[in-house]
Amino acid sequence: MLTDYTEEAVCKVDDLKDGELKDVRVGDTDVLLARVDGQYYALYPKCTHYQAPLSKGMLHGNRLVCPWHNACFDVRNGHRLEAPALNGLPTHEVRIEGDQVMVRLTTDKESMENPMATPDPANTTTCVIIGAGGAGAFAAEAMREGGFTGNILMLTSSDHAPYDRPNCSKDYLQDKAPDEWMPLRSPDFYADYGIDIRTGQRVTSLDPQTKEIEVSGGEGQATERIAYDKALICSGGKPNKLPVPGVDLKGVQVLRSLTDSQQLRELGKEGKRIVIIGSSFIGLEAAMSLRKLGSSVDVVGMEAVPFEKILGERVGKVIQGWHEKEGITFHLGRNVKALEGSDTVEAVVLDNGERLAADAVLLGLGVKPNTDFVKGIDREKDGSLRADETLQIADGLFVAGDIATYPTADGTQRIEHWKVAGQQGYTAGMNMAGNGVVYNEVPFFWSNQQGKRINYIGHAEKIDDVIFDGNPEQDDSFLAFYVQDGNVKAVAGLKRDKEIIAIRELMQADKLPSVETIRQGVDWKAELGK
Residue 179 CB neighbour total at 10 angstroms? 10
Question: How confident is the model over 19-38, as pLDDT tens digits?
Answer: 999 999 999 999 999 999 99
What is 7-23 written as a DSSP string?
EEEEEETTSS-TT-EEE
Using left for φ > 0, alpha for ψ between -120 and 50, and beta otherwise, residue 271 falls in left
End-of-domain residue from the set 432, 448, 472: 432
Q: What is the chain's mean pLDDT, rounded? A: 96
What confidence category does residue 5 fall into, taking pLDDT thresholds of 50, 70 and 90?
Answer: confident
Residue 449 counted as domain residue: no
Alpha-carbon distance 495 to 506, whole Å? 19
Residue 453 counted as domain residue: no
Same domain, 381 and 361: no
Using left for φ > 0, alpha for ψ between -120 and 50, and beta otherwise, residue 317 falls in alpha
Q: What is the pLDDT of residue 222?
A: 77
- Three-state secondary structure of 374-418: ECCCCCCCCCCEECCCCCEEECCEEECHHHEEEEECCEEECCCCH
Same domain, 234 and 265: no
Same domain, 234 and 130: yes
> What's the number of domains the chain is made of?
4
User: How large is the average pLDDT for residues 186-213?
Assistant: 97
Same domain, 298 and 201: no
User: How large is the average pLDDT for residues 373-401?
Assistant: 97
Q: What is the pLDDT of residue 375?
A: 97
Residue 444 counted as domain residue: no
**Is 234 in contact with 362 (CB distance < 8 Å)?**
no
Q: What is the pLDDT of residue 170?
A: 96
Percentage of the chain surpassing pLDDT 70?
98
Strand partners, 361: 252, 275
Same domain, 373 and 233: yes
Q: CA of 87: how far to CAs of 65, 71, 477, in Å?
A: 14, 10, 30
DSSP strand pairing (296-301 vs 273-277): parallel
Same domain, 57 and 24: yes
CA dihedral 33, 17, 491, 495 (to 10 degrees): -60
**Which run of H or E residues covers position 449?**
strand 444-449
User: How large is the average pLDDT for residues 239-248?
Assistant: 96
Q: What is the pLDDT of residue 1?
A: 37
Same domain, 229 and 377: yes
Is the confidence at residue 221, as pLDDT, over 80? no
What is 55-111 written as a DSSP string?
GGSEEETTEEE-TTT--EEETTT--EEETT--SB--EEEEEEETTEEEEE-----S-
- Which CATH number goes with the domain that contains 31? 2.102.10.10
Q: What is the pLDDT of residue 255?
A: 96
User: How large is the average pLDDT for residues 285-289?
Assistant: 98
- Which CATH number goes with the domain that contains 510? 3.30.390
Alpha-carbon distance 19 to 523, whole Å? 16
Is the confidence at residue 2, as pLDDT, over 50? no
Residue 455 counted as domain residue: no
Residue 111 counted as domain residue: no
Alpha-carbon distance 361 to 359, whole Å? 7
Q: What is the pTM of this model?
A: 0.96
Same domain, 84 and 178: no
Residue 247 counted as domain residue: no
What confidence category does residue 220 fall into, taking pLDDT thresholds of 50, 70 and 90?
Answer: low
Alpha-carbon distance 85 to 529, whole Å? 25
Same domain, 231 and 262: no
End-of-domain residue from the set 338, 365, 392: 365
How buried is 467 (Cβ within 10 angstroms: 0-12 exposed, 13-18 middle, 19+ buried)? middle
Question: How confident is the model over 295-350, as pLDDT tens digits?
Answer: 999 999 999 999 999 999 999 999 999 999 999 999 999 999 999 999 999 999 99
- Which CATH number goes with the domain that contains 334? 3.50.50.60
Give the residue from 342, 167, 360 showing the smallest Cα distance to 263.
360
Range of the domain at 173: 126-238+369-432
Question: How confident is the model over 453-496, as pLDDT tens digits?
Answer: 999 999 999 999 999 999 999 989 999 999 999 999 999 999 99
Q: What is the pLDDT of residue 294?
A: 96
Q: What is the pLDDT of residue 107?
A: 75
User: How large is the average pLDDT for residues 119-123?
Assistant: 97
- Three-state secondary structure of 230-270: EEEECCCEEECCCCCCCCCCECEECCCCHHHHHHHHHHHHC
Residue 447 counted as domain residue: no
